[in-house]
Amino acid sequence: MKAGTFDAGYTLEPSATIMRTLGVAKTVEDGVIAKYILGDTNADAFAAGCAFTTEFITKRPDVAKRFAAAWAKAIVHIKEHPAEARQHLAKNTLTPDNVVDSVPMLGYIMTRDMSAKQLGYLQTFADFGTKIGVVPERIDVKSYLKAF
C-alpha cells in the first residue's frame, strides 16, 4: 500500500490493524464478507481455518485427534483469557508489540460446535467461491468437515 502500487485492497486481520497503525492504509469498510457475500452484517464469516487431508486423517488419526484436542484447548483459552491469548499474536503472526492489544480477536470455533446457522454461512461462502469461478463446482461443506 505504501509503495502506491494499489489504490485499495481487501485483507484480513491482523494485517488491517497493522497497516492502519503504521499509517500506510485506512479502513474504508469492515465486515465486507459478512455484508456483501453472506448478506448479513452480523454473520460469522469463516474465511480461515485449519484443515487436514483425508489421507492424513486416515493414516495418522492419532495425530489428527491430538491436534484437534490442542486446538480446542487453545480456543477455550482464547475465550477465557483474551488479553493473555492476544500476546501470542506478536510471535505467531508477526504483529508488532504496539499493535497486539488493538487487533480484534477472531471468533474461533470448533467444527463440532458450529450451529446450523454458522454452517449455513460457511456454505454460502463456499457457494460464492463457485459463483466467481474459484471453486469449479458446488461442494457440500458438511461433507468436508470432520469433528473430533
Cell of 77: 483459552
Question: Would you say residue 116 lies in a domain?
Answer: yes
Question: Would you say residue 102 lies in a domain?
Answer: yes
pLDDT at 146: 80
pLDDT at 127: 97
Mean pLDDT value across the chain:
90
Its domain, for residue 90, covers 48-144
Cell of 115: 450451529
Among 15-19, 89-93, 132-136, 137-141, the range scoring the smallest mean pLDDT is 89-93
Question: Would you say residue 3 lies in a domain?
Answer: no
| Per-residue pLDDT reduced to its tens digit, 29-57 | 988 999 999 999 999 998 878 888 889 99
- Cβ contacts of residue 5 below 8 Å, gap of 6+? none
Q: How many domains, in total, are found in the chain?
A: 1
- Which DSSP category does 97 fall into? T
